[in-house]
Amino acid sequence: MLHKILNLATSNGFVKRTVLAHLNMSQYEIGPIGEILRHNLMTEWYYNIVFNKDVTVIMNNGDFTGTYEYLKAFCSDRLPFGIADIKKLKKSYSTDEIIEHYKKGRDNRNTSFKDLMRHEEDSLCNCTIFVPPSNSTRFFHQWQQQRRMWWRKFSAGPGRYSLTDIKKGDNNSQRVEIIVKYPWGSESLETITLGSHDRKLTNAQLEFQENKKTIHAHAIVSQINLTSMFMNSICDAFDETLVVNKARKLLRLHKKLAPFKISLAVSGADQSSTAELSDLAVYICRQLRTNHVSTLLLPSSNQLKLDAQFKQYDELGVPYTILLSDSTLKDGIVFLRNRETTLKEQVHVSQLVTYIDQLLKNY
């Protein structure tokens, strides 16, 4: 199944194979369509972490200690508050290590999402929340549930996400992981730790006054590997069902994550009507893009049969497709096809942009 997903992702530009000729093997890296997906993932992570309703969180500007000191003063020396950042870690691997990663990915033996991708650079999405020690345990458990709900919110199969048991670490730290289960095994997506962090802050910097007492802030750290988050989004969204004895492969990407929210399909009876409908498709596409809706209009939309167009858009994970037919030229009605149900509803061209805006507005 994993190889089916990789083949689909490769053929649709989410990932691309990189041939390592000197080692006679290949690895994967993020493709051009995948870059849009990765950007959307980072945006949703940013909104969830930085605009958290309960805690003031700001992005680190590269100097964690300086950002911490500023935020501490900004919050009038009152807890809680947090710092988020995206760290790029460059790594070097020996030839033997690269070969071992390749074998794991090829054989599905203890497969990790990170084993499938190039390893020269990893991006880690981090968030460190500083909380009073009296509330740290409660906040730790609350944070776990909130983060698990975030993963489930974007999932086509929410039931596959779970929390591991809490594990004890050094200096009385506690660690829990959010994992996802697939037919080929489980993958760790996010690590949440209470009581330790990799930033060098002194005891004096961690001191706060609470009810005339001096307390030392506790740290709750969330860490996500961006490559794992990216690969999980594709694997989670993959679906294959039988429709009239034919396999229908598609990506059920959440509409907030999908690289393209809307696509356009054209079905004209003759060359003349097809040309008019193509012009109308360009007009609609321009309107949607002006309204900041990521819209896909391909030259093949007036060359391929409808089934072939729908197949391509489903594999790209496009949630909705606008179908323009000969009747559209008479009454101004288009059909809006839902990727999930394949059902089509009628919408007038004059109301299309407003209606789509409402569809995409909510999660």
- What are 274-321's pLDDT values in tens digits? 999 999 999 999 999 999 999 999 988 778 899 999 999 999 999 999
- Average per-residue pLDDT in the chain? 88
pLDDT at 105: 52
Where residue 111 sits, what CATH number does that domain have? 3.30.930.10
**248 pLDDT more than 60:** yes
pLDDT at 109: 46
> Torsions phi, psi of 273, nearest 5?
-65, -35
Q: Quick: pLDDT tens for 103-130.
A: 555 554 445 676 677 655 678 999 999 9
pLDDT band with cut points at 50, 70 and 90 for residue 160? very high
Q: Quick: pLDDT tens for 180-207.
A: 999 888 999 999 999 866 667 888 999 9
Q: Domain for residue 248, yes or no?
A: no
220-239: average pLDDT: 94
**208 pLDDT more than 70:** yes
Q: Domain for residue 194, yes or no?
A: yes
pLDDT band with cut points at 50, 70 and 90 for residue 97? low
Same domain, 226 and 316: no
Q: Quick: pLDDT tens for 325-361.
A: 999 999 999 999 999 999 999 999 999 999 999 999 8
Q: Domain for residue 214, yes or no?
A: yes
CA distance 219 to 215: 13
Same domain, 168 and 63: yes
Q: Domain for residue 208, yes or no?
A: yes
pTM, full prediction: 0.89
Q: Domain for residue 247, yes or no?
A: no
Q: What is the CA radius of gyration of the chain?
A: 24
**Count of other CB atoms within 10 angstroms of residue 231:** 28
**Structural domain for 270, as ranges:** 262-361
Query: Among the listed ranges 76-85, 93-102, 148-157, which one has the minimum average pLDDT value?
Result: 93-102
pLDDT at 229: 94
pLDDT at 195: 86
Same domain, 210 and 332: no
Same domain, 66 and 7: yes
What residues have CB less than 8 Å from 134, skipping those under 6 apart? 210, 215
Same domain, 10 and 63: yes
Quick check: bond before 183 cis, omega within 30? no
66-85: average pLDDT: 94
pLDDT at 119: 56
User: Containing H/E element for 282?
Assistant: helix 271-290
pLDDT at 144: 95
Quick check: bond before 80 cis, omega within 30? yes
Q: Domain for residue 25, yes or no?
A: yes
